[in-house]
Amino acid sequence: MLVSLRGLRRAFREGDRLRTVLNGLDLEIKQGERIALLGRSGCGKSTLLNLISGIDQADAGEIVINGLNLTGMSEYERTLFRRRHIGFVYQFFNLIPTLTVEENLLLPLELNNLDKSAALELLSAIELSDRRGAFPDRLSGGEQQRVAIARALVHDPLLVLADEPTGNLDAETGRQMLQLLDRLVRKTGKTLFLVTHSEDAIVLADRVLTLENGRLTEPKRKAD
């Protein structure tokens, strides 16, 4: 099992009350699996991604990725783990505006002392080799998200996390981004955990989960 979440709890103080968003959550994700996560706004989907990536810490429970227990790591150790083993695709792209397209892809490789040839290969795969010297503000939204998807995969991570990657795009561009993400994830055999409201993303997933009242449910799919 690539990812095991056991009894995760996370609550936030809001004024004089404590709001629990994850309440004893359990989940196991297999290598190469593609999971879509649904849930109403504010239910804790992004919080869950932040816990899995080590950005945030759970109040209780365990997060084990590839045999390593993130809950036992220091913040510095989690940062190093995330830098090497997690790829993140954000709704608002989060490209570094002062770096060119190529430099944005090279950065994860430089941080991990990895071969830089992967950047050129992915630029070709996302059909942006001719824009390698452009800065993000010169790209369309769809082009920026293509770069963001490539950046999430360039350092060969164990796990790709995507937080509403089509939320800032029109419907057609969003479909194209999902198809690109799915194609690259399948090609490289990566494991994908995707927060989404998109019906297109649900169709591409191996499993569809819903986060509600702090726990995950898996609706039964209709038989073919």
pLDDT, one tens digit for every residue, the chain (224 residues): 999 999 999 999 888 898 999 999 999 999 999 999 999 888 999 999 999 999 999 999 999 999 999 988 999 999 999 999 999 998 888 999 999 999 999 999 999 999 999 899 999 999 999 999 999 999 999 999 999 999 999 999 999 999 988 888 888 888 888 899 999 998 888 999 999 888 888 888 999 999 999 999 987 654 44
CATH number at residue 105: 3.40.50.300
The answer to whether position 156 is within a domain reads: yes
Instruction: Please answer whether residues 12 and 171 qualify as being in contact, where contact means their C-beta atoms are separated by less than 8 angstroms.
Output: no
This prediction's pTM: 0.91
Closest alpha carbon to 152 in 85, 88, 80? 88
3-state secondary structure 132-152: CCCCHHHCCHHHHHHHHHHHH
Q: What is the pLDDT of residue 224?
A: 45
Q: Which residue has the tokens 């055999």?
A: 189
How many domains, in total, are found in the chain? 1
The answer to whether position 144 is within a domain reads: yes
The answer to whether position 224 is within a domain reads: no
The parent domain of residue 93 ranges over 3-217
The answer to whether position 222 is within a domain reads: no
